[in-house]
Structure 1
Amino acid sequence: MSNNSASAALSGLRVLDLTRIRSGPTCCRVLADFGADVIKIEAPAGVDPNDGISGPRDGFDMQNLHRNKRSITLNLKTHDGMSIFRRLVQTADVVVENFRPDVKDRLSIDYESLKAINPRIILASISGFGQTGEYRTRGGFDQIAQGMGGLMWVTGHPGHGPMRAGTAVADISAGLYASIGLLVALSERERSGVGQWVQTSLLEAQIAIMDFQAARFLVDGVVPQQAGNDHPYSTPMGVYETSDGFINIGASGSGLWMSLCAALARPDLAERPEYATEADRFANRPQLNSELNAILSERTSEVWLAELEAKGVPAGPIYKMDEVFSDPQVRHLGMAVPVEHPERGEINLVGQPLVLSRTPASVFKCAPKAGEHTDEILRELGYADADIDKLQRENAI
């Protein structure tokens, strides 16, 4: 059954969520899952020309990204809408936005404007290419950042052209880096008493998660190339074909190589001079992979995985998504979290991959309807019912 209790980890923290698409919502989802009061601020129906860009409100993506939040509709292009927003800022700890950098300046939701209202406020800004520089006003999407950050050039099979990753790597990582930055800023505020401006971008996040591939160029001057399903510089480390499918094997280093040969019942491979060292195996990788595939194709994935585990060789199946969530270890880890939806009934959302022993994350409610909590939040700010009726008539909410 659904867990309908919020986490206590970030209780008392108020976050104003001005974000859309994926990077910003990913950041705010982390905070919401750990108990922050995340207020999703949206335009009233018909005001935002990009309304619906993230798909149906009750669809899988919106439900997964915006669970555990409250929603208020505000027309920030009106005087009254901005007045409400400023009152919210007075009560808030964090504001998160992922507009193009010039948009927040036009709306007066830049850091200097927010700091004048609440010196303790922390603003997190996620952009495509950074808050400064000649690309600052460009529109940024995940695949563009994947291309510019180097990921697409090392992904795919050699000679087949660049390939995007199968998930929104730049968007998601930018959101996660933003949440890290916010938590750092909140910790620092405990000492200083003042907030600050946290910034990241899809481009910076994409470059950062290239990690060893980026460092390989910066330190050694090597431009990494596509390696398909093989590891860029270690072997045997990649995808191998069995009689009924494919498995991953990671057997780099001399010890694991010897264990792999034992698991395959082929000690003769370990005696071959062309496979004697890690460098030799890498230099002769096409030949080695061909021999390994010929051996592995004689038995099923299940049989080989058992043999490899028995000899201590890291290996694993290659799942379709339905198989992922059927795996006993995935089920044990609770990565599919049930939550009740008023129209769809019980649905499963993706859990947080973090375990805290005392204050774990909790997925306790589905994504809100647009403006579902507008009246509730306005009353918390001191607005009377007559005021709320007037604001609705004037299309401020």
Structure 2
Amino acid sequence: MTQVTTATGPLKGLRVLELGQLIAGPFCGQLFADMGADVIKVEPPGQGDPMRSWGRAGYPLWWSVVARGKRCITANLRSKEGQDLIRALVEECDFVLENFRPGTMEKWGLGYEDLKAIKPDIIMIRVSGYGQSGPYSSRPGYASVGEAMGGVRYLMGEPDRKPSRAGISLGDSLAGTFAALGALAALRHRDQSGEGQLVDASIFESVLALSEALVPEHTIENSTRERTGSTLPGIAPSNIYDCADGMIIIAANQDTVFRRLAKAIGMPELSSEGRFSSHSARGANQVDLDALIQKWTSKRPTAEVEAVMIENAVPVGKVYKAEDMLDDPHFSAREALVDAVSERWGEVKMPNVAPKLSATPGSVRWAGPDRLGQHTDDVLRDLLGLSTEDIEALRDKQIV
């Protein structure tokens, strides 16, 4: 398989200088790279981003995803010469992306006002746990804390035990996504006015943005949502049901859909029975209704349950693991998974670019570069005009 290096997508021609490490900031950079931007990721010499070693037995498969499509260089941001390299690169970039603790960039002389003096229309994207202002801004912030503060952790899991987690770094990815959205809004403003600006994205506010009506429900109705496991209280049927060989989700809470479900399971009379005849009645009798459906599904394999529901136009879906995604024809038809070229692995199968654009689709050009500083020489030579001797001198002093 030949490595694809030509950028495609609507952000082709734009350049992002990515500083920081781990997940939230780099995920934002991944989104830019997916859509065609030239993302130059800066890592500390000799150690690199910790994501390079996150994985089972130290194999950095996550790195292959979060650094895909990026050119990776090294620079010591704690040294004056390293900081000078960053200042020079800023002149060649449209965005600077960082996710250090607030105040760190200012300490290095690389805060927004510093960068703005170098390139007045620069857009600086700052991702942090709590934002760049407020009494908590200087605290270290990880996704788990932001998810808790934003309200989602309290709602995850079963009601009879402590809150659970999503199994992925939800808060980091949300913060990176909102940061990218804010950056594109800032780009639109720059296109119209010529002005750059600062984009301040926090993990806790990104999670809070998905909290639906939690706050008004408390302030107006004096109610607090609680953990409900796999069910939606008052919305029935909508649950995960056990089959003879696995689990399946059935969602049929709308009146017309419920009538089709009742027919599908051989009990059409349920839709006219008083305790199940309306949305509110089904919600009030949710436990009894789930028990009836569970009794039917438990005697049948998931494939049969799925086929019956599809035949009767009832929303249904298996509870997928990675192996199910690989076998699913819809994933294949949509090209939802893609093979990215990797020096270490040959190919790495990973999620494709989302969303899909009809005229200017993005692409995964390569997996996260295996070698630390793999593109340092190319970037410093092509963008800054440094000679091989100049770069070697910087390397000898451990600046790159």
Superimposed CA distance per residue, residues 317-368 of structure 1 (whole angstroms, 9 cap, x where no aligned partner): 1122211222110111112211222232122122122111121111111212
Give the structure 1 partner of residue 54 of structure 2: 55
Residue pair 1:21, 1:53 contacting (<8 A) in 2 also: no
Q: Is residue 390 of structure 2 the alignment partner of residue 390 of structure 1?
A: no
**Cα 1:51–1:170 shift into 2, 3 Å:** closer
Q: How many residues align?
A: 395
Pairing 1:77-96 to 2, within 5 Å after superposition: 77-96=78-97
The match for 1:371 among 370, 373, 397 is: 373
Give the structure 2 partner of residue 181 of structure 1: 182
Residue pair 1:71, 1:372 contacting (<8 A) in 2 also: yes
Q: Is residue 256 of structure 2 the alignment partner of residue 275 of structure 1?
A: no
Deviation at 1:279, TM superposition (A): 1.2
What is the distance in 2 between the residues matched to 1:287 and 1:214?
31
Deviation at 1:221, TM superposition (A): 3.7
**Cα 1:109–1:221 shift into 2, 3 Å:** farther
Residue pair 1:2, 1:337 contacting (<8 A) in 2 also: no
Residue pair 1:26, 1:65 contacting (<8 A) in 2 also: yes
SS in 2 for 1:329: helix
AA at the equivalent of 2:45 = P
Deviation at 1:54, TM superposition (A): 5.4
Give the structure 2 partner of residue 308 of structure 1: 309
Deviation at 1:207, TM superposition (A): 1.0
The answer for unaligned runs of 5 or more in structure 2 is: none
AA at the equivalent of 2:355 = L
Q: Is residue 324 of structure 2 the alignment partner of residue 326 of structure 1?
A: no
Give the structure 1 partner of residue 257 of structure 2: 256
AA at the equivalent of 2:377 = D
Q: Is residue 175 of structure 2 the alignment partner of residue 142 of structure 1?
A: no
What is the distance in 1 between the residues matched to 2:286 and 2:3?
50
Residue pair 2:53, 2:60 contacting (<8 A) in 1 also: no
Residue pair 1:158, 1:226 contacting (<8 A) in 2 also: yes
| Segment drifting more, 247-256 vs 383-392 | 383-392
Q: CA RMSD in A?
A: 1.9
What is the distance in 2 between the residues matched to 1:58 and 1:361?
27
What is the distance in 2 between the residues matched to 1:42 and 1:17?
9
Residue pair 2:150, 2:207 contacting (<8 A) in 1 also: yes
Deviation at 1:158, TM superposition (A): 1.7
What is the distance in 2 between the residues matched to 1:219 and 1:180?
31
| Segment drifting more, 248-257 vs 295-304 | 295-304
Structure 1-normalised TM-score?
A: 0.95
AA at the equivalent of 1:188 = H
Q: Is residue 104 of structure 2 the alignment partner of residue 103 of structure 1?
A: yes
**Cα 1:292–1:2 shift into 2, 3 Å:** farther
What is the distance in 2 between the residues matched to 1:40 and 1:131?
22
Residue pair 2:233, 2:283 contacting (<8 A) in 1 also: no
What is the distance in 2 between the residues matched to 1:340 and 1:367?
9
Residue pair 2:67, 2:368 contacting (<8 A) in 1 also: yes
Residue pair 1:3, 1:362 contacting (<8 A) in 2 also: no
**Cα 1:30–1:219 shift into 2, 3 Å:** farther
What is the distance in 2 between the residues matched to 1:99 and 1:250?
42
What is the distance in 1 between the residues matched to 2:224 and 2:252?
25
AA at the equivalent of 1:388 = I
Deviation at 1:51, TM superposition (A): 4.7
Deviation at 1:219, TM superposition (A): 5.3
**Cα 1:140–1:11 shift into 2, 3 Å:** same
Deviation at 1:113, TM superposition (A): 0.8
Residue pair 1:235, 1:285 contacting (<8 A) in 2 also: yes
Residue pair 1:2, 1:338 contacting (<8 A) in 2 also: no
What is the distance in 2 between the residues matched to 1:59 and 1:352?
20
Identity of aligned residues (%): 33
Residue pair 2:234, 2:282 contacting (<8 A) in 1 also: no
SS in 1 for 2:45: coil
SS in 1 for 2:21: coil
Superimposed CA distance per residue, residues 10-66 of structure 1 (whole angstroms, 9 cap, x where no aligned partner): 1211100003111111100111111111000111115x7x85675279621111000
Deviation at 1:89, TM superposition (A): 0.6
Residue pair 2:16, 2:95 contacting (<8 A) in 1 also: yes
What is the distance in 1 between the residues matched to 2:293 and 2:45?
60
**Cα 1:344–1:53 shift into 2, 3 Å:** closer
Deviation at 1:211, TM superposition (A): 2.4
| Segment drifting more, 172-181 vs 99-108 | 99-108
The answer for unaligned runs of 5 or more in structure 1 is: none
Structure 2-normalised TM-score?
A: 0.94
Pairing 1:1-397 to 2, within 5 Å after superposition: 1=1, 4=4, 5-45=6-46, 51=50, 55=54, 59-214=60-215, 216-217=217-218, 220-368=221-369, 369-380=371-382, 381-397=384-400
| Segment drifting more, 54-63 vs 342-351 | 54-63
What is the distance in 2 between the residues matched to 1:52 and 1:66?
9
AA at the equivalent of 1:24 = G
Deviation at 1:141, TM superposition (A): 1.2
**Cα 1:213–1:237 shift into 2, 3 Å:** farther
Superimposed CA distance per residue, residues 146-175 of structure 1 (whole angstroms, 9 cap, x where no aligned partner): 222211221111212211112111110110
